[in-house]
Amino acid sequence: MKKILCLLGMSLLLQGCDPVKFWNGHYSMQSSIKEYDRKEKAYYDKETPEQKRLRKENRYICRKMAMDMYLYIPDAGYETNSKITNKRWAIEKKCMKERGTPEF
């Protein structure tokens, strides 16, 4: 009877958890993402309405500035546009920090 219950338990466990995904780190990655999202939500929920309004204004200003500095080049290829995107993101992040509304 113990063997049957043990086999039944193992089969239920294996059906709910794919060994390949578990071995490749899928579940640990998934839990890390959920934890990050939870912390990010808590960070932004602590802000006052005035801070949220200021963040929205700063985000608009900083994104516009970053887009004006580094324009997307349609025929440049993936690598060039990827570098441009990274530069834009860095400029936007620095601008937000300088304006007093750092990103999470």
Give dist(CA 68, CA 66) in Å, integer.
5
- Is it the case that residue 77 has pLDDT exceeding 70? no
Report phi then psi at 68, rounded to 5. -70, -35
Residue 87 pLDDT class (50, 70, 90 cuts): confident
Q: Please state the rounded mean pLDDT for residues 87-103.
A: 89
Residue with tokens 């005035």: 50
pTM: 0.59
Tell me the per-residue pLDDT of 33-68, one tens digit each, with 9 for 90 and over: 999 999 999 999 999 999 999 999 999 999 898 888
Structure-token pair, residue 13: 């466990």
Residue 98 pLDDT class (50, 70, 90 cuts): very high
The predicted structure's pLDDT at residue 76: 62
In which element (H, E) is residue 50 found? Answer: helix 49-69
Give dist(CA 43, CA 37) in Å, integer.
10
Residues counted in the chain? 104
